[in-house]
Amino acid sequence: MKHFRFDVPGALQTNRKLASCTTVQFFGAEMQCIRNFLRMCFLLFIIFFMSCNTSLCEIRNGYEKDILILKESLKNLTEILIEDKDLTGIQRRKMESSVETLVNHISFYDLTENLLNQFKIIAPRLYAEIDTISDRKGRPVHVYVKFVPVDATKVKAWGTTYLNQVKNDKDAYLSEYGELTVSIKIWLVPKALLVLSHELGHVKYQIPNLASYIDFHKKYYKGELSNFMGHHPHDPSGKTAVHTEKIFQKEYFYFLKNTHEKIQNPLILLAKIRKGMNPKLYALANTRRQTVTM
216 pLDDT more than 60: yes
Q: For residue 18, with 0-12 CB atoms within 10 Å meaning exposed, 13-18 middle and 19 or more buried, which class applies? A: exposed
60 pLDDT more than 70: yes
42 pLDDT band (50/70/90 cuts)? very low
Query: Which residues, 6 or more positions from 183, have their beta carbon under 8 angstroms from its beta carbon?
Result: 62, 144, 146, 161, 162, 175, 176, 177
Q: What is the pLDDT of residue 6?
A: 35
Q: What is the pLDDT of residue 40?
A: 55
Q: What is the pLDDT of residue 38?
A: 52
Instruction: Evaluate whether 148 touches 188 at the Cβ level (below 8 Å).
Output: yes
Q: What is the pLDDT of residue 153?
A: 87
- pLDDT of 177-210, one tens digit each? 999 999 999 999 999 999 999 999 999 999 999 9
Q: What is the pLDDT of residue 26?
A: 47
Half-sphere exposure of 180 (CA within 13 A, CB side): 15
Query: Which residues, 6 or more positions from 263, have their beta carbon under 8 angstroms from its beta carbon?
Result: 118, 122, 193, 252
d(CA 227, CA 40): 55
- pLDDT of 75-113, one tens digit each? 888 888 888 888 888 988 898 888 888 988 999 999 999
- The sign of the dihedral angle between the CA atoms of 276, 266, 289, 107 is positive
HEC letters along the chain: CCCCCCCCCHHHHHHHHHHHHHHHHHHHHHHHHHHHHHHHHHHHHHHHHHHHHHHCCCEEECCCCCHHHHHHHHHHHHHHHHHCCCCCHHHHHHHHHHHHHHHHHHHHHHHHHHHHHHHHHHCHHHHHHHHCCECCCCCECEEEEEEECCCCCCCCCCEEECCCEECCEEEEEEECCEECEEEEEEECCCCHHHHHHHHHHHHHHHHHHHHHHHHHHHHHHCCCCCCCCCCCCCCHHHHHHHHHHHHHHHHHHHHHHHHCCCCCCHHHHHHHHHHCCCHHHHHHHCCCCCCCCC
d(CA 220, CA 226): 13
pTM for the full predicted model: 0.74
| pLDDT over 90 percentage in the chain | 50
Q: What would the mean pLDDT of 63-76 be, rounded to a whole number? A: 90
3 pLDDT more than 50: no
Instruction: Evaluate whether 199 touches 166 at the Cβ level (below 8 Å).
Output: no
1 pLDDT more than 50: no
Q: What is the pLDDT of residue 106?
A: 93
d(CA 151, CA 155): 8
28 pLDDT more than 60: no
- Residue closest to 127 by CA, chosen among 57, 62, 208: 57
Radius of gyration (C-alpha) of the chain in whole angstroms: 31
Instruction: Evaluate whether 257 touches 55 at the Cβ level (below 8 Å).
Output: no
- pLDDT of 237-274, one tens digit each? 999 999 999 999 999 999 988 887 778 889 999 999 98
Instruction: Evaluate whether 266 touches 110 at the Cβ level (below 8 Å).
Output: no
Q: What is the pLDDT of residue 229?
A: 76
152 pLDDT more than 50: yes
